[in-house]
Structure 1
Amino acid sequence: MSLIEIKNEHQRRSILTALSAMVGFGANHSMVRDTCASFGVEMSNDTIKNQLYWLEEQGLVSVKTQGNYLIAELKARGQDVVDGLTFVPGIKRPSAGE
């Protein structure tokens, strides 16, 4: 597995985890980015937006544009990934005990 694939898997997992922790399971891309940074997973605005669109293509989040922001909301399938109930290639699996 390449370094970029590992990085993508961690970024996507961090985004889903961040959305799972938000009240209402959603937030704008800036809030998600800051939350991921607090986990030690820093991303540029372009990267967070691209990852959110990728997650939307997988049916894990919904994304809509509001002004200059993307608003992302976790879907039930995304929560299943966070909880380790569903595996999606391209997203880091949780470790035992997470």
Structure 2
Amino acid sequence: MSFKEMITSDKRLVILRSLREMTGYKANDSILDSCLETFGHSVSRDEVRTHMRWLEEQGLITVEKVGETLVAKLTGRGGDVATGKSMVDGVKKPRPE
């Protein structure tokens, strides 16, 4: 795995874990951008949206467009990946707590 792939997979895990642990399973792209920044990932809003759409394609979140804002909701499968119960290539596996 390249360094870039490692960083990308960590950003996706941060989004899933943020939805599960910090936002009550649902958050908009602005909140997720702030969560990523809190965990050391400085990204553009466009990049956050790209990760959201990728996670949606994998069935880990659902995405609803509300005006110009994207709202993500964690799926059951996404919750399993966030906790390490399931694995998806492209999302970092969390460490045991």
Length-normalised TM-score, structure 2: 0.93
Residue of structure 2 in register with 1:92 after alignment = 92
Number of residue pairs aligned between Structure 1 and Structure 2? 96
Q: Which moves more between the two structures, 59-68 or 36-45?
A: 36-45
Q: What is the rounded CA distance, in whole Å, between the counterparts of 2:54 and 2:70 in structure 1?
A: 13
Length-normalised TM-score, structure 1: 0.92
Q: What is the rounded CA distance, in whole Å, between the counterparts of 2:69 and 2:10 in structure 1?
A: 22
Residue of structure 2 in register with 1:81 after alignment = 81
When the two chains are superposed, the root-mean-square deviation of aligned CA atoms in Å is 0.9
Residue of structure 2 in register with 1:68 after alignment = 68
Runs of 4+ displaced beyond 6 Å:
none
Is the contact made by 1:14 and 1:41 (CA closer than 8 Å) also made in structure 2?
no
Is the contact made by 1:36 and 1:42 (CA closer than 8 Å) also made in structure 2?
yes
Q: What is the rounded CA distance, in whole Å, between the counterparts of 2:85 and 2:50 in structure 1?
A: 25
Q: What is the rounded CA distance, in whole Å, between the counterparts of 1:3 and 1:44 in structure 2?
A: 19
SS at match of 2:72: strand
Deviation, 1:96, is 2.8
Deviation, 1:3, is 2.0
Which blocks of at least 5 consecutive residues in structure 2 are unaligned? none
**Which amino acid in 1 is paired with 2:23?**
M
Deviations 1:10-66 (A, max 9, x none): 11001001111212x101100111012111122111110000000000000000111
Q: Percent identity?
A: 36
